[in-house]
Structure 1
Amino acid sequence: MTFRLSNNLLGILNLVTFLFSIPILGGGVWLSRKGINECEKFFDKPIIVVGVILMIVSVAGLIAACYRVTALIWFYLVIIFLVVLLGIYNTVFALLVLNKGAGEVLSGKGYKEYRLQDYSKWMQKRVNNESTWFTIKSCLADSKVCTNFHTHHLNDTVQEFYKAHLSALQSGCCKPSNDCEFTYVGPTNWTKGKGVFTNNDCNTWENDLDTLCFNCKACKAGFIDNLRTESSKVMVINIVFFVCLVLVYFVACCAFRNTSRDKF
């Protein structure tokens, strides 16, 4: 009996997925061996895991489609179903933990201030973990977010600087908090006043480009807010991915039904 359309389509989809898994796996292996900084090495294991899972599932789908193996199609359906559930869980979870919090608008300033207590407790706990934050700090340093900030605003007057539209990371990590009321000398060079600061970030700030406010709560808040912005972009990709996954699941269900009919 000739293959039905759903079996052929399932085979084609899994062939594409298998080919797609090769560069993903290769990229993860490359990062684990050639990654030159913490940012790159931080992502190698998740990428390798995704690549291996994608490859295994694709091979199972290909064999199931070509040879109409009922057990493999069952396995394929279960895995795809679990991936869909996991994706929905991660999306809802991300919305819950990243939905809370926003930057504070300042009068006469072009940028916002970011306060850690405004964000979810779960995210606060994550960034307050020393090991986690050390990795994030290394990533921020490697990305030169504050070095580029320093170069871009080096010749700004104080009035020009206050009108600048800064990103959440630049505002939280590369300059002192507005509460400190330091005297502006340069974008990363501020003169501390004398007295007791109510905001501990003021004591943490250093003019050294390697330190600045990377250990400040404002920097952690800026990182979370930047994560919120980036996650909204990823959410669109997730929706497209879920639609494609549901389509694959539907085709796999049809293939399973066809295989079952052919055997009986």
Structure 2
Amino acid sequence: MALSNTIIAAINFAAVLLSVPVIAAGVWLSTQADNACVKLIQWPIIVLGIVVLVVALAGFVGAFWRIPGLLLFYLAAMVMLILALAGLVVFIFVVTSGGGAHLAPSRMFLEYELDDYSGWLRRQVEGTERWNRIKACLSSTSTCSELNQTYNLAQDFFNAELSPLQSGCCKPPTRCGYTFVNPTYWISPIDTASDVDCVLWSNDQMQLCYSCSSCKAGLLANLRREWRRADLLLVAALIALITVYAMGCYAFRAAKTDDIFRRYKQGYT
């Protein structure tokens, strides 16, 4: 039985280690400027990873020091956590299933439209109060100002591979026909009234196109890209966690069967 407990403890310790990539995915998202401003899924991921860590540690302690109550708690709680992680993985995949990019005429960078994204994502950037908070956070970052340090000539800028956030928030949409002075300063054409985003563009370095739909779309494109990357890590952790849990259940069941057989044999003799 001692050997079986050691095996179960080792398996449960593997579950402890598997909480690390879950926590790491949330921490990585929290370090990205756009996710730090929106604050949607990084904390749920971090909290879920911490709970997995605590439950796995309880299972390890229960197996190593032979505390059946803790081990049974681990077996029951980990099922719920695996289901929660699976639900989160599916949720991220579903809400990021939409989205896309559009080629701008005579430009290397791409531009983005808000209608291309899922309804749930769009709702996260709708509402004046909510967007004003996000906009204030985005404008305080170096996302746009660093473009002025990198590109001096119009053609260099037009050939640049901008991030979705830079493309949507730091410049007017190409369709507006603005004339380049520098990446965040443009000369307005005579008529811009036909397009709301063209009217909303401002050379004020704290305003730029942060109020534009193109900025919201660029933000969602950035979120989609980063959430998809985090989701791949969560999928890998989920598969490994299910495997480790199945091994733990098998080892626990084998140990219990072994213990029952031993007791029966001792009683028979």
User: Where on the TM-score scale, by shorter chain, does this alignment land: which range?
Assistant: 0.7 to 0.9
Pick one of 142, 145, 152 that aligns with 2:143.
145
Counterpart Cα distance in 2 of 1:48 and 1:165: 31
Structure 1 counterpart of 2:62: 64
Structure 2 counterpart of 1:7: 8
Structure 2 counterpart of 1:125: 123
Pick one of 191, 194, 197 that aligns with 2:190.
194
Which residue identity does 1:127 align to in structure 2? V
Deviation at 1:55, TM superposition (A): 4.3
Of residues 127-136 and 103-112 in structure 1, the stretch that sits farther from structure 2 once superposed is: 127-136
Question: Which protein has the larger Cα radius of gyration, Structure 1 or Structure 2?
Answer: 2
Cα pair distance change 1:62/1:112, threshold 3 Å: same
Cα pair distance change 1:89/1:44, threshold 3 Å: closer
Which residue identity does 2:105 align to in structure 1? S
Of residues 46-55 and 1-10 in structure 1, the stretch that sits farther from structure 2 once superposed is: 46-55
Cα pair distance change 1:46/1:163, threshold 3 Å: same
Structure 2: give runs of 5+ residues left out of the alignment.
261-269
Which residue identity does 1:100 align to in structure 2? G
Which residue identity does 1:10 align to in structure 2? I
Give RMSD over aligned pairs: 3.2
Q: How many residues align?
A: 250
The TM-score with structure 1 as length reference comes to: 0.80
Which residue identity does 2:206 align to in structure 1? D
CA contact (8 A) 1:57 1:76 kept: yes
Deviation at 1:186, TM superposition (A): 1.5
Q: Residue 3 of structure 1 aligns to a residue in which SS?
A: helix
Structure 1 counterpart of 2:36: 39
Counterpart Cα distance in 1 of 2:65 and 2:189: 76
Pick one of 233, 240, 243 that aligns with 1:244.
240
Counterpart Cα distance in 2 of 1:134 and 1:10: 48
Q: Percent identity over the alignment?
A: 32
Q: For each residue in 1:111-157, what CA deviation from the matched residue of structure 2 results, as whole angstroms up to 9, or x when unmatched?
A: 1121111211111111114454344334433441101112212x11x
Q: For each residue in 1:145-203, what CA deviation from the matched residue of structure 2 results, as whole angstroms up to 9, or x when unmatched?
A: 101112212x11x3332222222111100000122212222211112223352221112
Which residue identity does 2:233 align to in structure 1? I
The TM-score with structure 2 as length reference comes to: 0.79
Q: Residue 127 of structure 1 aligns to a residue in which SS?
A: coil
Which residue identity does 1:147 align to in structure 2? S
Counterpart Cα distance in 1 of 2:147 and 2:139: 12
Structure 1: give runs of 5+ residues left out of the alignment.
32-37
Structure 2 counterpart of 1:76: 74
Cα pair distance change 1:222/1:261, threshold 3 Å: same
